[in-house]
Amino acid sequence: MKTSFTEENYIKAIYKLEEKLKEKAVSTNDIAIHLSMQPATVTDMIKRLSDKKLISYKKYYGVSLTAKGKAIALDIIRKHRLWEVFLVKKLKFKWDEVHDIAEQLEHIDSKELILKLDDFLDNPKFDPHGDAIPDKDGKMRVVNSISLSTANKKQTYIFSGVSNHETKFLKYLTTLNLSLGNTIDIESINDYDGSLKIKINHKHHEFLSEQVASHILVHPHHVK
Amino acid sequence: MKTSFTEENYIKAIYKLEEKLKEKAVSTNDIAIHLSMQPATVTDMIKRLSDKKLISYKKYYGVSLTAKGKAIALDIIRKHRLWEVFLVKKLKFKWDEVHDIAEQLEHIDSKELILKLDDFLDNPKFDPHGDAIPDKDGKMRVVNSISLSTANKKQTYIFSGVSNHETKFLKYLTTLNLSLGNTIDIESINDYDGSLKIKINHKHHEFLSEQVASHILVHPHHVK
DNA sequence: ACAAATTTTTAGACTAATCTAAAATTATAG
DNA sequence: CTATAATTTTAGATTAGTCTAAAAATTTGT
């Protein structure tokens, strides 16, 4: 049973919403908003996905992915993130330019292609935004990153990811000369508005609003 | 006006049939057979392509691509062939394994992607089967290749392409240890059945039936 | 040249994916 | 606890792309 481009997009949306909502079931409206679609359209599609046993669905309650559905979601996410690595590392796209292209490439159907692409890219574990890449069995690294807005003063962190993937946000980080893997020293925290003064890579100083800091993910810097 | 995946496949089919039929108009049946579709379905689609001014169409007569349609066809062919180069050169696919994957990749919509891919591959002029790759303006090298079955005895040629792209045929050439760019010396021609004894790269001898030779394209070897 | 064969088009129907409008169900607020 | 609001589903319609069957037009063979 082959999944269509459209079905794959619904499955991916449900996966992302499950991640966001944690325990709660994903509602028709959640999906409709996420995909900019009418709730009636979503009801039709979830009936079809339910018939195919890719989601479990209880009328008026919501949906959740079955094991089979989750495996498909992870496979699409794997393909999306591998293609993003290719676009940035090999074709020299900027990290804020790759999302829409990867959104198309993720639907190319060839197991062999993805295996070879993975090897060609030296089996990367993270995409250009720091998101973990599932392996061919759907397993991915669990990263204990925290938001920079909850970080402590006088401590050094490593910039490991973002929780906002919008072009504008990514471009802004680029103007700060902040890239994945850079060290971030917190020099001071403004009690009033939560803004931060930081030092990037022990070199240059920058100011971050709480709003920006909240979407920057970091993990503590371990000195060996 | 965006062309759909389906429309692109019809345009490509019409382009290929125009090449094959030279002057003659492309008939509904030609397209139906080429795409394994019912003639009635083809009639519907050519009406739509005609409304979009991508083909000119006279009822009961046949179709031909307009300049606009031809530009789209060449763009798809460019993308297909560049992706084939990528798959063979970078991902190490065999030349007989790439067609179906490239058939999917050719519909990815991003000008910037193709420009960067072209650069990444060092602006190749030919794909892994020796077919010329159109540049971004649709121009491509004209190759004066001839079929090996029309070649002369006691002459040296360069293997430059194939006129049969079937997996089985390509695999067979591989078993002969014959690759693009190899030299072919014609040692003898059998008058009765047109079969050939050749020497590949001045190294090993092989026997070719007329049927096989007819699908091997070569150009004369020029010694500087 | 005209009857038979072939090709092409038309007509009508189906599925996937979408929509709007209305009905049904569930949640909420006094 | 019930009336109002919000959400979800149902019903009916639309478009793209496909089909089959039948009608129309063209080509062919003697």
Q: Which residues of B touch A93 (CB under 8 A)?
A: 112, 116
Contact by Cβ (8 Å): A125, A141: yes
Residue B38: nearest nucleotide (C-alpha to C1'): D19
What region, left, alpha or beta, does residue A166 occupy, with left being phi > 0 and alpha being psi -120 to 50 degrees? beta
Tens-place pLDDT, residues A193-221: 999 999 999 999 999 999 999 999 999 88
Whether the per-residue pLDDT at A224 is higher than 70: the answer is no
Tokens of B170: 């390509």
Q: Do domains B5-65 and B146-220 have the same CATH topology?
A: no
Q: What is the pLDDT of residue A9?
A: 98
Q: Is A105 on the interface with B (CB under 8 A)?
A: yes
Other beta carbons within 10 angstroms of residue B51's beta carbon come to: 10
The DSSP code sequence of A153-191 is TT-EEEEEEES---HHHHHHHHHTT--TT-EEEEEEE-T
* pTM to 2 decimal places: 0.94
Residue in the structure block whose two tokens are 């009636």 = A40
Tens-place pLDDT, residues A94-107: 999 999 999 999 99
Q: Which residues 13-42 on B are within 7 A of strand D at the CB atom? A: 36-38, 40-41
Contact by Cβ (8 Å): B76, B128: no
Q: Which of A112, A110, A143, A113 is nearest to A129 (CA)?
A: A143
Contact by Cβ (8 Å): B176, B128: no
Q: Domain A5-65's class?
A: mainly alpha
Tens-place pLDDT, residues A28-82: 999 999 999 999 999 999 999 999 999 999 999 999 999 999 999 999 999 999 9
Q: Do B110 and A91 touch (CB under 8 A)?
A: no
Tokens of A198: 């930081």
Q: Which residue ranges make up each domain of chain A?
A: 5-65, 146-220
Q: Which residue gives the smallest C-alpha to C1' distance to C26?
A: A60
Please state the ipTM of this predicted complex.
0.92
Question: With a cut of 50, which residues of chain B have pLDDT below it?
Answer: 224
Q: What is the pLDDT of residue A26?
A: 96
Contact by Cβ (8 Å): B165, B81: no
Contact by Cβ (8 Å): A158, A184: yes
**Max intra-chain CA distance, chain A:** 57
> Which chain D positions come under 7 Å from a protein C-beta?
7-12, 16-22, 25-26
Find the closest chain B residue to A89 by CA distance: B120
Phi/psi of residue B175, each to 5°? -65, -25
Amino acid at A121: L
Other beta carbons within 10 angstroms of residue B81's beta carbon come to: 23
Mean pLDDT of A17-21: 93
Tell me, rounded to whole angstroms, the distance of Cα A221 from its chain centroid.
22
Tell me, rounded to whole angstroms, the distance of Cα A171 from its chain centroid.
17
Position A155 confidence tier, pLDDT thresholds 50, 70, 90: confident
Find the closest chain A residue to B92 by CA distance: A116
Tens-place pLDDT, residues B204-224: 999 999 999 999 999 988 754
Q: Which residue gives the smallest C-alpha to C1' distance to C21?
A: A40
Q: What is the pLDDT of residue A153?
A: 81
Tens-place pLDDT, residues B138-152: 999 988 899 999 988
CATH topology of domain A146-220: SH3 type barrels. (2.30.30)
Q: What is the pLDDT of residue B224?
A: 47
